[in-house]
A and B are shown apart, each in its own frame.
Chain A
Amino acid sequence: MQLSSRVFEAADLEAAVEFCYEQKWTDGLPVVPPTRGAIERILAYLKRDPDEIVGVVPPRNGVATIEKIAINCVMAGCKPEYVPIVIAAVEAMLEERFNLNGVQTTTHACAPLCVVSGPAVKTLGFNTREGALGHGCRAAATIGRAVRLILWNIGGGYPGEPCKTTLGHPGYFSFCVAEDQDANPWEPLQVERGFQSGDTVVTVTATTAPYSVATGAGYSPAADVLYLLADSIATLGSNNITGGDMVLVLGPMAAKNLADAGLTKLQVQAEIMRLATRPVREAKRRRSISATHPMHWSKVVDANDDEARVPWVRSPANLVIVVSGGWGSGAGFCALCSGWGALGGYTVSKRVEFP
């Protein structure tokens, strides 16, 4: 198989790993050396032209060909069958509404969170139980890792220059979670996003690190669960004061609590939207966007009424709800991943095309 990428040589495995560091091909974690055999296994699985261009990745504007994506997937440790999900995630991030150039370079701490939903969650062995957002699953860990390496090696997303994220967060290394349809009392995420239930879909949103929310779903009424979730959203330091998307990963206990109370997912979103507000007198203390700016909250609320409520969720669709995780204790843990606000990183979903 003809590969067009430059070839280097290393004396042995240890030297190869060190060479990857020396070449700045990795962001700190060791990588699997991208050898011909491993790359060709992915390309043989994909049955696509290695030179096919998937897109141009900012801010460096590197061209993401199938071959370059395959190389980065090898380095991340992906199995060949994971790679179509990575390709779909790249396509999603390159949609204009995602504003990847901004996501990669902002001083904020938002990284693309990939949510996988659909049949491949089971067939590829994603962990949707204990630790679903964390460690312990090759599929989620390496798909998230491949996305990061693509943003690094093709997009040139190096901290300092040109990426200005003040702190970043651990999800910059790998950030992927799968939906547990067995525990989801509502329609699958991919259906909510306009696809078929039999489709595997990757949904990408730029978010901050997950914030753990103890909802008390095991011993609290749904009204309190909703109140606690909303309270975690409407924090003055969150960029969602400008609007924009966010991802709420509901643990199965919290999801069951809400569904057992007769709430549809849309009703949950609408109720959280109603509750996730702060009074104008408090919102005024957040000064990072001027009152004259088109995104300022005063465009939707009377700034002269100190008791008027400023919404953090501007529409139900801004709140992307995913069900995943272990049953846990009565605390009913959930995870909120706040967004970049109306600045970008908006949720984009793409169907995964398996060969």
Chain B
Amino acid sequence: MSIELFDPVGEVEVVQRQAVRALQSLKGKRVGCIFNQHVSALAFWKALESEIEKTLQPASVFRIYKANTWAPAPRAEANRLLEATDYALVGVGA
């Protein structure tokens, strides 16, 4: 006689997202920078931001430097970034 087994794996929550708006160019656009301040990426991130500002000359820079490297950025701050930017750099040093 066979044994019936029930699947213990949880269904994955499906999150509906709006289609991403494609940008023709990053030049002169509003940039957002989310950085987790990991010690191993401090110098890299500084150089990256500097290079972005020099070559793409963004109209504005909106920064979120997370106080907790290991936790998500606060939702309210992330929402403000979404409204204030055309594209974002997300830095996860580890």
Listed in ascending order, the chain A residues whose CB lies under 8 Å from chain B are 3, 5-13, 15-16, 19-20, 23, 25, 33-36, 39, 56-57, 60-65, 68, 71-72, 75, 99, 101-102, 106-107, 149, 153-155, 164, 287-290, 292-295, 340, 342-344
9-residue interface stretch from B22-30, B50-58, B65-73, B82-90: B65-73
CB of B55 to closest CB in A, whole Å:
26
Q: Choose from A3, A13, A289, A290 the contact partner of B6 (Cβ within 8 Å).
A: A3
Within 8 A of A (CB), among B38-70: 39, 42, 67-70
Q: Which residue of B lies closest to A6 (CB)?
A: B7
Q: Which residue of A lies closest to B10 (CB)?
A: A62
Q: Chain B: how many interface residues by the 8 Å CB criterion? A: 23
Cβ B13 vs Cβ A10 within 8 A: no
Residues of B with C-beta under 8 A to A16? 3, 5
Report the number of A-B residue pairs with Cβ-Cβ less than 8 Å: 116
Interface centre among B5, B7, B9, B13 (most CB of A within 10 A): B5
Cβ A343 vs Cβ B10 within 8 A: no
Residues of A with C-beta under 8 A to B71? 99, 102, 343-344
Residues of B with C-beta under 8 A to A20? 5
Docked CA distance A44–B9 (Å): 21
Contact with A along B1-24 (1 / 0, CB 8 A): 011111111111101000000000
Interface centre among B3, B4, B8, B11 (most CB of A within 10 A): B8
Residues of A with C-beta under 8 A to B9? 25, 62, 68, 153-154
10 contacts between A and B (CB under 8 A): A7-B6, A25-B9, A34-B6, A35-B5, A61-B12, A62-B13, A63-B10, A63-B11, A153-B8, A294-B68
Cβ B5 vs Cβ A153 within 8 A: no
CB of A146 to closest CB in B, whole Å:
10
Indicate whether A9 sits within 8 Å of B39 (C-beta atoms), given known contacts A62-B10, A68-B8, A106-B70: no
Q: Which residue of B lies closest to A60 (CB)?
A: B12
Cβ A290 vs Cβ B5 within 8 A: no
Indicate whether A343 sits within 8 Å of B69 (C-beta atoms), given known contacts A35-B4, A36-B6: yes
